[in-house]
Amino acid sequence: MSTLENTVSMMKALPETDLLEIQNLTQKLFQRRESEAIDRAVGKFLKPMSREDFMRDIDTAEQEIVDGKYRSADEVFNGLERKYGL
């Protein structure tokens, strides 16, 4: 018997609860791989940042909000819709 045939025959013998557990585990593994792939893709575009740099950026952003140097999410999304015809 091949590995595939052994696997199929074993799965046919399993109760429904075990099959659901296997399905859940498989989904988690694929979700984890997707998340890792997304993290790697984002990492290609964003430079690594120290905690100090990150906190400095947060302070700058908070000051810009206080100074009124921001746009609402609605403004941003409306601009994207106009630009890309969405």
- Over residues 26-58, the pLDDT tens digits come to 888 888 888 888 888 887 877 788 999 999 999
* The two three-digit tokens of residue 72, written as one number: 């609402």
Give the model confidence (pLDDT) of 70-82 as tens digits.
Answer: 899 999 999 999 9
Q: What is the pLDDT of residue 54?
A: 94
Does 59 lie in the same domain as 30?
no
Torsions phi, psi for 14 (to 5 deg) = -75, 145
Beta-carbon-side half-sphere exposure of residue 4 (alpha carbons within 13 Å): 0
Does 67 lie in the same domain as 36?
no
Asked whether the beta carbons of 41 and 49 are under 8 A apart, the reply is: no
pLDDT at 86 over 90: no
Does 22 lie in the same domain as 51?
no
Does 53 lie in the same domain as 30?
no
Beta-carbon-side half-sphere exposure of residue 72 (alpha carbons within 13 Å): 3
The model's pTM is 0.40
Name which residue leads in pLDDT, 5 or 43: 5
Which structural domain range is residue 29 located in?
Answer: 1-46
Domain count, the chain: 2
Does 78 lie in the same domain as 40?
no
